[in-house]
Amino acid sequence: MTAQATPPPFSDPQWSQLRQWLETLDERQRWWLSGYLAAASSAPAAVAGTEGTQPVLIGYGTETDNCRHLARTLSEHCGDAGIATEVVDLARLRPRQLARRDHLVIITATHGDGDPPEPIQDFYQGLMGDGAPQLANLKFAVLALGDSSYERFCVTGQEFDQRLEALGGERLIARQDCDVDFEQPARDWIARLLEKLPKANTTGTAQGPARAPTSSPPSYDKHHPLTVEVLVNQNLSAADRAQPIHHLELALDQAIPDLFPGDAVGILADNPPELVAAVLDACELSGEQPVTVNDDAQPLVQALRQTRDLTIAGTGFLAFWAEQSQAPALLELCQAESRRQRAFLRDHQLLDLLHQYPARPPAQALVEALRPLQPRLYDVANSLAVLDDELHLTVKAFHYPFRKRHEQGIASRYLLDLQPGDPVRLYPHRNARFRLPDDDAPLILIAEGTGIAPYRAFLQALSQQSQRPPCWLVFAEQRFEDDFLYQLDIQQARADGVLERVDTVFYQDQPGAGLITPLLDQIDRLGTWIDRGAHLYLCGDKGRLSDLESGLKTALDQRQGDGAWKQLGREKRLHRNLY
Ligand SMILES: Cc1cc2nc3c(=O)[nH]c(=O)nc-3n(C[C@H](O)[C@H](O)[C@H](O)COP(=O)(O)O)c2cc1C
């Protein structure tokens, strides 16, 4: 007789929704919910780790999701090993809640200029501040993700690691700092950690964390991207603008489940063909040599075009190139402290290194020494509930000076050059913190430049609703004539009553005006909307919106009383999407 597999209790879409929703809960809400469900259910509760052993708390700090994925991977490995876990976004945890835990694993990235990921700023401040709890009963471990091309490599993980120890915690295993090729070191670290974590005393049938049934919907990620086709690539801004802004429409032949307004996609860009050719020339390789990348055999030219970073060398490549070239200056540099190496790399892109210190590396070794090409996130500019077989993006050219050269960002250049019919590899990136609220609270949408993209998706979604919340859009760009992105969509939304108010600022037409100007001019109206429970959204350029935020905070605190701005954050009514 063969055992019948019990059908999974939820359908695939339900699983997906449930998982996403659970991640929005903070620790207290999860505890409450588990108790509520146990009490409400007539069936005996089967909860792992209820006798004595608390689930291991796995807290992640992320902006682009690597740490969230690793937290889930760790949780799955724990489940297989009979270790109960609870995965939580550190953005939803308060430091004092740690005092009640006995095992904590932190997996965190560093962002900005050595800053914690933006969503976990409050947790970070709380843990680093004087009010942090003593953690004498806590055993902890920290996995730090970063990018060694940044001056302050993995500092957030390092700071958490030191702070947890200073608060009395006991380190389970040494912290691991991971560079952009983090997969293998993270896997090794997880294997070491599993030996130190307590097994759950299971009282029922559940083993560790709840896991999705094996038949979960197709999930795309950076290793398993979806290939879509370009339908339209249209310049939205002035023809002569140095950093043009384009609108892209991509054909979606396969549905992407659960991609909501506010979410993004990760784009796997190709390197420009001239850059690939220059690298091959410098290495005296033809490009036809077969190489293997992630168990996938392919010609070298393809591996360089699609999978390797040909801009930033990184310290690993520096060591490789010193050995290949035997250049005394490089060999000496590799003996120096890493700070000097990083300073050198900030002044030398990959091609500079290859030209200045010639060598002829073997093809496979070259591929293995280069850093993986990182995906770039772009907000989705349409609502898939309205149009489910197209994906729209808003892309601005990114330029930066390097030495005396003028360099262009790889991903934006790739996207701006695409032609109808070209394939694009992408995967969904969900951004639960930048969604429309469940209720009909008023919305204040503030956008700088391409920050308008997710709001276009919001407006499309709202246009389908019978009950619409009041919605106020504030948008800033350079010139009215040339840069009023999605002007027709915005005017249509205004005419249809989806937008109650629209304020625009065009910097070049209105010297002295800033994004904040219309909001300060109408501070009473802003205060009234906030009193009515409005959610405030900020999207676009980090520098400009951070300035706006500090100006608004001062103005609002003055009008509504000290702490008004903070209160917005506490009530999860402030949503940031800054880059
Ligand atoms: C805008 C930006 C700034 C970053 N700044 C740093 C930094 O200062 N130090 C560092 O070590 N890594 C830095 N990184 C690299 C990230 O920490 C790394 O990509 C990490 O894998 C991201 O993890 P996440 O996807 O969980 O956010 C930065 C990445 C981005 C996109």
Give the Å distance between the CA of 147 and the centre of ligand 1. Answer: 6
Query: What sign results for the dihedral spanned by CA atoms 164, 165, 169, 170?
Result: positive
Give the Å distance between the CA of 342 and the centre of ligand 1. Answer: 16
Is the CB of 109 inside a 6 Å radius of any atom of ligand 1?
Answer: yes
Is the CB of 158 inside a 6 Å radius of any atom of ligand 1?
Answer: no
Give the Å distance between the CA of 531 and the centre of ligand 1. Answer: 36
DSSP single-letter state for residue 497: T
The residues facing 265 across adjacent strands are 378, 428
CATH 3.40.50.80 domain span(s) along the chain: 432-578
Q: Is the pLDDT of residue 41 over 60?
A: no
Is the CB of 153 inside a 6 Å radius of any atom of ligand 1?
Answer: yes
Q: Which tens digit of pLDDT belongs to each residue from 459-498?
A: 999 999 988 999 999 999 999 999 999 999 999 999 999 9
Q: Is the pLDDT of residue 49 over 60?
A: no
Return the ∠ at Cα 32 (arms to 434 and 59), rounded to 5°. Answer: 50
Residue closest via CA to ligand 1's atom 9 equals 153
CATH 3.40.50.360 domain span(s) along the chain: 12-194
Is the CB of 222 inside a 6 Å radius of any atom of ligand 1?
Answer: no
Give the Å distance between the CA of 100 and the centre of ligand 1. Answer: 30
Q: Is the pLDDT of residue 306 over 90?
A: yes
Those residues whose C-beta lies under 8 Å from the C-beta of residue 402, and which sit 6 or more positions away, are 349
CATH 1.20.990.10 domain span(s) along the chain: 288-369
- CATH of 12-194, picked from 3.65.10.10, 3.40.50.360, 3.80.10.10, 3.40.1280.10, is 3.40.50.360
Structure tokens at 457: 């998706």
Give the Å distance between the CA of 108 and the centre of ligand 1. Answer: 10
Residue closest via CA to ligand 1's atom 5 equals 111
Distance (Å) of CA 381 to CA 250, 486, 542: 11, 10, 19
Q: Which tens digit of pLDDT belongs to each residue from 524-573?
A: 999 999 999 999 999 999 999 999 999 999 999 999 999 999 999 989 99
pLDDT band at residue 18 using 50, 70 and 90 as cut-offs = confident
Q: Which residue has the tokens 């490089």?
A: 330
Percent helix, strand and coil across the chain, each to the nearest 5 = 40, 20, 40
The residue-averaged pLDDT of 382-400 equals: 94
The residue-averaged pLDDT of 256-279 equals: 96
For residues 478-517, one letter each, b for 16 or more C-beta atoms within 10 angstroms of the residue's C-beta and e for the rest, the string is beeebbbbbeebbeebbeeebbbebbbbbbeeeeeebbbb
Give the separation between CA 535 and CA 530, rounded to whole angstroms.
7
Is the CB of 16 inside a 6 Å radius of any atom of ligand 1?
Answer: no
Q: Hey, is 61 helix, strand or coil?
A: strand
Distance (Å) of CA 18 to CA 9, 58, 59, 370, 428: 12, 19, 19, 39, 17
CATH 2.40.30.10 domain span(s) along the chain: 227-269+380-429
Closest-lying ligand 1 atom to the alpha carbon of residue 64 = 25
Number of other residues whose CB lies within 10 A of the CB of residue 216: 14
Specify whether domain 227-269+380-429 bears CATH 3.40.50.300.
no
Is the CB of 67 inside a 6 Å radius of any atom of ligand 1?
Answer: yes
What fold, for 432-578? Answer: Rossmann fold (3.40.50)
Residue closest via CA to ligand 1's atom 18 equals 146
The residue-averaged pLDDT of 122-137 equals: 94
Q: Is the pLDDT of residue 103 over 60?
A: yes
The residue-averaged pLDDT of 70-78 equals: 95
Q: Which tens digit of pLDDT belongs to each residue from 25-39?
A: 665 566 556 545 644
Give the Å distance between the CA of 387 and the centre of ligand 1. Answer: 33
Closest-lying ligand 1 atom to the alpha carbon of residue 69 = 26
Q: Which tens digit of pLDDT belongs to each residue from 200-258?
A: 764 433 334 444 434 455 689 998 999 999 999 999 998 888 899 999 999 998 888 88
Long-range CB pairs of 549-556, under 8 A, 24+ apart, other chains included? 551/516, 551/520, 552/516, 552/519, 552/526, 555/519, 555/520, 555/523, 556/523, 556/526, 556/527, 556/530
Distance (Å) of CA 134 to CA 28, 57, 60, 94, 142: 19, 17, 21, 13, 18
Q: With beta carbons less than 8 A apart as the criterion, state whether 276 and 310 touch.
A: yes
Give the separation between CA 454 and CA 577, rounded to whole angstroms.
9
* Cα-Cα end-to-end distance for the chain: 58
Specify whether domain 288-369 bears CATH 3.40.50.300.
no
Is the CB of 66 inside a 6 Å radius of any atom of ligand 1?
Answer: yes
For a pocket test of ligand 1, which of 108, 147, 433 has the largest count of ligand atoms closer than 8 A to its C-beta? 147
Q: Is the pLDDT of residue 384 over 80?
A: yes
Is the CB of 149 inside a 6 Å radius of any atom of ligand 1?
Answer: no
